[in-house]
Amino acid sequence: MTPLDSPTAWPAEAIWEQVFPLLPNFTVEILPEIDSTNSELMRRARAGQHEPTLLVAERQSAGRGRMGRVWQSQAGDSLTFSLSLPMSPKDWSGLSLAVGLSLAESLHAEVGLKWPNDLWFKARKLGGILVEAASMGGRSQVVIGVGLNIRPRPAEGLSTAPAALTELLPQLTAPACLAQVVPPLIRAMLDFERTGFAPLQSRFEARDVLKGQRVHTSDGLQGLCLGLTPGGALRLQTDLGVQEIHSAEVSVRPLPKDTSS
């Protein structure tokens, strides 16, 4: 199956040629606008469409982040895409961490990872990941949504000022970024299906921006971040001992430094 027609500025055919040997039914679609690439691929999965698909939108009118957050996307300022893949790993734990690690390693040595779903640069958010799954008729389909800031954008309404990839890679464009990150990401997902997160633990922790910091979670825990378990849970040293925090339960942010002394 060949990729759908798309604007020549986007490297749809080049990506398809790299991925086709791994996923023979793979398709690439580039759209000028859609409500949400994740929502569209989830709709397709629930309708029984299981072909591996890369869906890119130049603009999203209703982009979604984790925990219901809105992801605003404008043409050229950001890269937003979703991957729909049939997957049946033995253990799904740490999938979003594997996604983030692949993206960070494809982008730049200075891109950090903030557990569980964010890419960071200099204490600012560079991108986010939203992973959803649909099961129909005994088949599992995972939809991986990615939003990356290409150029600087306003900070209004955001709890953390955004970073932009052009701070690290001044000539980078959204199409070039897509070509840079998608083929390695698909290979990483195929590896994850076979081996899970454990082999990636040390590489993730090398970019972990929370390890060694005091943090708090959205359900009220506070403590020192110790790193991750082999399954990708966050290890937090609290007053009650070491707690394991799972991505579906909490979000984490560094505690403000104590300025009283």
Which residues are catalytic, by number? 66, 125, 253
Q: Which residues, in sequence order, are CB contacts of 161 under 8 Å at separation 6+? A: 124, 125, 155
Residues 147/100, Cβ–Cβ less than 8 Å:
no
Q: Could you tell me the two tokens for 52? A: 């591996």
Amino acid symbol at 217: T
Tracing tokens 């991986």 back to the chain, one arrives at 144
Helix, strand, or coil here: 19? Answer: helix
Length of the chain: 261
**Rounded distance, CA 27 to CA 116, Å?**
28
Q: Are 70 and 64 within 8 A, CB to CB?
A: yes
Give buried/exposed letters for 192-213 (b at 16+ CB in 10 A, else e).
bbeebbeebbeebeebbbbbee
Place of tokens 């299981």: 50
Strand 53-57 relative to strand 27-31: parallel, antiparallel, unpaired? parallel
Q: At what angle do helices 174-195 and 12-19 cross, to 10 degrees?
A: 20
Beta bridge partners of 166: none
CA distance 197 to 220: 27
